[in-house]
Amino acid sequence: MSLFFSSSFMFAQIHTADSIGKPKNLKFKYEALIIPTILIGYGAIGLESHTLKDLNSGTRNELKEHIDEKFTIDDISQYTPFLSVYALNTAGIKGKNNFKDRSIILVSAYVIMGATVNIIKTTGNELRPDGTSNNSFPSGHTATAFMGAEFLYQEYKDVSIWYGISGYVVAAGTGFFRMYNDRHWFSDIAAGAGIGILSTKIAYWIHPLLKNSLFKDRDKLNGMIVPIYNGKQYGLGIVMGF
C-alpha cells in the first residue's frame, strides 16, 4: 500500500536512522489546546472584526514602507522544520520515535492540516492583500511551517529544547515573509499557525490508534521525498510504502 500527498512535490528515497526504544505517545491534555485555539480564534474573529481588520491593514502598510523587493524564502522555509527531524536522525541524533512511527505521525499531521486549510480556503472568500485571489484565509505556508515546528519540538524536546525553539523561529519567519511578500494578512498567519500546531498535536494523540489498527502488521515503512518547482511555486510531495 502507498500514500501520496502533495503541495506540489515528488520523492527520492530517504534512508534514515531510527531512534532506539519503543515510541512514546502523548496523552491528551486540554491545556495543549489553549495556544492553537487562541490563534485560530483570533484569525476567525479577524475576518469580521473592524478593529482586527484595521490592525491587518496597519501591519501591511508598515511592511510596505520597508519593502524593496520580495523574497520567496517562505516557499522553502515552510518545509524546513519537519525535514529537520529526518536530517537530525540521519546525522545520528535520535529523536523520540523511530522512522516508522514518526512518519505515520507526520503524514497524519500533514493530512489533517492540508485538509483543514484547503476546505477553509475553498469555502471562504478572503481577498489576499495583493488582490490576486480570494483564498487568503488561512495561510497554508504558515500552517505547514508550524505543523513542522511542533513535530520537531515533540520529537526533540527531551534531547534539547533548542531544537523546538529553532523550529518555531523558522515557522514564525515563514509567517512574517508571507506578510512581507503581500500574500497574507496577519490574521491569516495567526490562524495558519494555530491549525498547524493543532494538527500535529492531534496526530500524536491518534497515533496509538492508527499504529494498532492500520499499521499493526507493518514493520517496515519506506518513504521518498523530492522537491519540485513548476516555475511559479515550490511544493512537497510524499510517497510512502509500507
> pLDDT tens digits for 97-124?
999 999 999 999 999 999 999 999 999 9
Q: Are strands 2-6 and 234-241 parallel, antiparallel or unpaired?
A: antiparallel
151 burial via Cβ count (<10 Å: 0-12, 13-18, 19+): buried
Q: Which pTM does this prediction carry?
A: 0.81
What does the alpha-carbon distance between residue 82 and residue 75 come to, in Å, rounded to a whole number?
14
Q: Which residues of 50-77 are buried (b: 16+ CB within 10 A; e: fewer)?
A: eebeeebeebbeebeeeeeeeeeebbeb
Question: Residue 9 — very low, low, confident or very high, per pLDDT cuts 50/70/90?
Answer: very low
**pLDDT value at position 222?**
54
Q: Are 17 and 94 in contact (CB under 8 A)?
A: yes
Higher pLDDT, 8 or 130: 130
Overall CATH class of domain 26-217: mainly alpha
**pLDDT (mean) for 168-177:** 98
**pLDDT value at position 43?**
97
* C-alpha pair distances (Å), 196 with each of 113, 178, 190, 242: 6, 15, 10, 26
What does the alpha-carbon distance between residue 228 and residue 242 come to, in Å, rounded to a whole number?
24
Residue 142 has pLDDT above 90, yes or no: yes
Higher pLDDT, 17 or 193: 193
Q: What percent of the chain lies above the pLDDT cut of 70?
A: 76
The residue type of 135 is N
- The residue behind cell 516557499 is 75
Provide the residue ranges of all domains of the chain, joining segments of one domain with +: 26-217
Q: What percent of the chain lies above the pLDDT cut of 90?
A: 68
